Structure 1
Amino acid sequence: MSGAGRTGAWVMDRGLRWVAREVPEPGPYGVVVEVSVCGVCRTDLHLVEWDLPTHLPECTPGHEIVGRVVRAGPRVTGVVPGDKVGVAWLARTCGLCRFCRTGRENLCPHSRYTGWDLHGGYAGLTVADSRYVYRLPPGIPDEEFAPLLCAGIIGYRALERAELPPGGRLGIYGFGASAHLTAQLALARGARVHVFTRGEEARRLALELGAASAQEAYAGSPEPLDSAILFAPVGALVPVALEALDRGGTLSIAGIHLTDVPVLNYRRHLFQERTVRSVTANTRADGRAYLAEVAAHPPVVHLQRYAMAEAAEALEDLAAGRFTGAAVLLNDGRAGAGRES
């Protein structure tokens, strides 16, 4: 069969390289999506910098995709050409293993991920499984919706894993794309939020959004914490966050990559039933639940906008901490067919 056309796309090849490549037919459950906006996630940076192993050679990164369906496979239900959809990190699971059958598809050993195992959204067109996309409601601009599809959803799962009690005291370590969305979610639920981050501008943003305090990353907490979430990929902050927890508190580690954790002192860091929990991807149920909360309490999304042609610059700025909030790549239409470089 002929393909679904050609698209310009960034691929990971010792950095990023712009190419023109064929877009395959979508398959029975697949949809071809014309990319409007793609968020720039720290996971993309980890992949480009080889902190994470390569799964698909010359893969196109990007998994916070908002776009319109332009073609749908014969078994697709729920979306039709013209619909606005979101394509997120979780791209495929087996549906048969014990994890999938018990509502834990994020732990499926056969799971596949957008922008890692399958081509993602740093492109004009991408292909996704319709059973894993989100049909997006009107009202929120595409560029504001894009970061919600990973930064927002993974923050939601991290907050759930942190088991914050109603009206509880939450510590957030690191204050980038996911953290600034998660802080707003926790505040909407009635939490008291303390932010710990190295960036002065990020601390100002945290206070503007309603945080009770904002201080240096390694500073002590103003009060004992019921729960904490570590967003910064810095293992040295694990004992700092644990020491800030009250008795029975839980630390949730949100990142897919973390530098080595120092040796922990049992009595200082873990005794009195303090708990450390990791976060692995998300389920589609997480995504639906988070987007329902977003509809009720739309977050303020602080954005740094880049053209699709500026993807490498966006990743460099992310690595250097040159912006607060989230970054997005805007497709101005010139990424459709692209040109080989």
Structure 2
Amino acid sequence: MRLRTAEFANNCVVPEVADLPSPAPDVKMRAMQLDSPGSPLRSIERTLPKPSGQDLLVSVRACGVCRTDLHVVDGDLRGRLPIVPGHEIVGSVIAVGSLVEGFEVGDRVGIPWLGGACGTCSYCRSGRENLCDNPVFTGFTRDGGFATHCLADARFCLPLPASFSDVEAAPLLCAGLIGYRSLRAAGEGSPLGLYGFGAAAHIVAQVAAFEDRQVYAFTRAGDEAGQTFARSLGCSWTGSSEEAPPEPMAAAIIFAPVGDLVPQALRHVRKGGRVVCAGIHMSDIPAFPYEQLWGERSIVSVANLTRADGREFLALAERIPINTATTAFPLPAANVALERLRAGTIEGAAVLVP
């Protein structure tokens, strides 16, 4: 079953966007900008930036709306302001900097959360650029994809499989990538629990099913639609996050930003099991008895991604193939998309289409 959806929330069909010619000098770009934490995004217009050095100038064709964007907008994460959010970007290259190699005008590219790394710190030198001491994050320290155009470092952009449309590909660039890194951190055991069945979990469930693993999906209490959706993607059991699964789990991944879920998940993983905290932000984890951790259980977090993650996951996504469920919104409706994400009424992923 293909879950591909390319319709706006108002049921207007999203057109495929053709590659654009090089922009004229007076071309303007539009963007949805955050001026202060907790405030709605504001529509702005500015002069189109010029790429230099390693930069690509990209015409945005689709940009996913991620929970990290919501944390930035709500002020849970404090960074550069004003900022244009958005880090699940699919676009066409319309100009290149003088040092760019590997991309040309007209290429389709994916721009993920990790927008740059120093390459010299101990983490970068040991293959852990996701932990770089001086990183660049798309839509957080550098303007992102809630816009008609953006700049991106070509060295951190990813080629995208042609089998995915623009809207389908967008959620793969964070929900998919962070989900994939979280899945690998969880180990290879089965059954696997997923707490919070949103954009990331609906992709991870498909990868785990492809690997012949049992998947248990935990949703908000009473979310029958979410549980039905999870079962349609191969989950063998669904229930609320307060319920016990049919048997102890080998691992659990927590996508919901709720610290209370950590001790709950610990109670349901078997000895030697692991609880993976996949989000960039989470409410405080409450105290819990040591006996819940004893038995060589562990709690780990996942931070950011590496370019190797991107290459591995996108190749796997095409081979499976991953089906992304999406609801598309026009760019000016970014605040509506964020509110629906906050309310938990998006099945799969929200995507902005300029």
Q: Structure 1 length as normaliser, TM-score? A: 0.94
**Partner of residue 199, structure 2:** 177
Amino acid paired to 1:187:
A
Amino acid paired to 2:245:
S
**Partner of residue 47, structure 1:** 72
The reply on whether 1:115 has 2:139 as its aligned counterpart is yes
Deviation at 1:57, TM superposition (A): 1.3
**Partner of residue 334, structure 1:** none
**Partner of residue 20, structure 1:** 45
CA distance 1:52–1:32, change in 2 (3 Å): same
**Partner of residue 197, structure 1:** 219
Match of 1:294 among 299, 306, 317: 317
Conservation of the 8 A alpha-carbon contact between 2:53 and 2:98: yes
CA distance in 1, matches of 2:32, 2:158: 24
Match of 1:251 among 263, 275, 286: 275
Amino acid paired to 1:85:
V
**Partner of residue 30, structure 2:** 8
**Partner of residue 11, structure 2:** none
**Partner of residue 37, structure 1:** 62
Give the count of matched residue pairs.
326
RMSD of aligned residue pairs (Cα, Å): 1.2
Q: Which moved more, 1:210-219 or 1:3-12?
A: 3-12
**Partner of residue 15, structure 2:** none
User: 1:47-96, CA deviations, whole angstroms, 9 ceiling, x for partnerless residues?
Assistant: 1111111x221100000000100001111111100000000100010000
What secondary structure is seen at the aligned counterpart in 2 of 1:222?
A: coil
Conservation of the 8 A alpha-carbon contact between 2:161 and 2:314: no
Conservation of the 8 A alpha-carbon contact between 2:57 and 2:152: yes
**Partner of residue 6, structure 2:** none
CA distance 1:149–1:4, change in 2 (3 Å): farther
Deviation at 1:323, TM superposition (A): 1.8
CA distance in 1, matches of 2:279, 2:104: 34
**Partner of residue 101, structure 1:** 125
What secondary structure is seen at the aligned counterpart in 2 of 1:99?
A: helix
Amino acid paired to 1:287:
G
Structure 1 residue runs of 5 or longer lacking an equivalent are 332-341
User: 1:271-328, CA deviations, whole angstroms, 9 ceiling, x for partnerless residues?
Assistant: 0000100010011111111011112112121111111111000000000111211010
The reply on whether 1:136 has 2:160 as its aligned counterpart is yes
Residues 314-325 of structure 1: pairs in structure 2 closer than 5 A: 314-325=337-348
Q: Structure 2 length as normaliser, TM-score? A: 0.90
Match of 2:295 among 261, 265, 272: 272
CA distance in 2, matches of 1:290, 1:247: 29
Deviation at 1:21, TM superposition (A): 1.7
Amino acid paired to 2:297:
R
CA distance 1:181–1:147, change in 2 (3 Å): same
Deviation at 1:4, TM superposition (A): 8.6
CA distance 1:194–1:4, change in 2 (3 Å): farther
CA distance in 2, matches of 1:97, 1:52: 23
Structure 2 residue runs of 5 or longer lacking an equivalent are 1-23
CA distance in 2, matches of 1:226, 1:270: 14
Deviation at 1:3, TM superposition (A): 7.6
